[in-house]
Amino acid sequence: MTTYLFYFLSFLAIMFALMVVLSKNPIHSVLYLVLTFFAIAGHYVLLNAQFLAAVHIIVYAGAIMVLFLFVIMLLNLNKETEPHKSLWLKGMAAVASGSLLVVLVGSLKNAGQMQAAAPYNGSIGLIENLGQTLFHEFLLPFEVASILLLGAMVGAVMLGKKSIK
């Protein structure tokens, strides 16, 4: 059952990710990317990371993709204004990324079989364990992340202003 769910979610994720790249209309790309994120959130649930799945949906599908959607609608991008590369460049892009995939898969094929941790702990994805790790071992990076977000906010406001006096 879990295996079939894994295959189904993987199929959905790869399908929608390809549609993000290949669809002509930028709005459709955004919507397909949201669907890709939902498939990845399904993978997180499958991996016993329930809290991360919820955060993933809230942050990515709820915040980041809405930001993308706003910008695309604000700039009024649609199928007609969409620039396209020449067919030759598109072919070369496909060849280049195909070779990258071949190299990655080839190197992963020789990777040894890894053994799972002996006493499998299914509760590490719960909020209690994550909070313990985050606020004990990663307290300094957590605080630095808040400074990063503040800097990004100030930078976005500065860049978004019409003119800086």
Partner 1 sequence: MQISINWYLLLSAVLFTIGVLGVLFRRNAIIIFMSIELMLNAVNLLLVAFSSYLSDSKGQVFVFFIMAVAAAEVAVGLAILMSVYRNSKSTDINSLNKLKG
Q: Contacts with partner 1 in 83-102 (CB under 8 A)?
A: 83-85, 90, 92-94, 96-98, 100-101
Q: Any contact of residue 139 with partner 1 (CB under 8 A)?
A: no
Which residues have C-beta within 8 Å of that of residue 45, sequence separation ≥ 6?
A: 53
Pick 43 or 165: Cβ nearer partner 1: 43
Q: Any contact of residue 140 with partner 1 (CB under 8 A)?
A: no
Q: Any contact of residue 129 with partner 1 (CB under 8 A)?
A: yes
3-state class (DSSP) for residue 23: coil
Instruction: Please say whether the beta carbons of 39 and 51 come within 8 A.
Output: no
Which residues have C-beta within 8 Å of that of residue 115, sequence separation ≥ 6?
A: none
Find the shortest distance in angstroms from Cβ 27 to partner 1: 10
CA distance to 26, 30, 85, 129, 165, per residue, from 20 (Å): 8, 7, 16, 35, 40
Q: Contacts with partner 1 in 62-81 (CB under 8 A)?
A: 63-64, 67-68, 71-72, 74-75, 77, 81
Find the shortest distance in angstroms from Cβ 82 to partner 1: 6
Q: Any contact of residue 116 with partner 1 (CB under 8 A)?
A: yes
Find the shortest distance in angstroms from Cβ 30 to partner 1: 7
Q: Any contact of residue 105 with partner 1 (CB under 8 A)?
A: yes
Chain-centre distance of CA 105, in angstroms? 21
Chain-centre distance of CA 129, in angstroms? 24
Q: Any contact of residue 124 with partner 1 (CB under 8 A)?
A: yes
Instruction: Please say whether the beta carbons of 13 and 39 come within 8 A.
Output: yes
Q: Any contact of residue 52 with partner 1 (CB under 8 A)?
A: yes
Q: Any contact of residue 50 with partner 1 (CB under 8 A)?
A: no
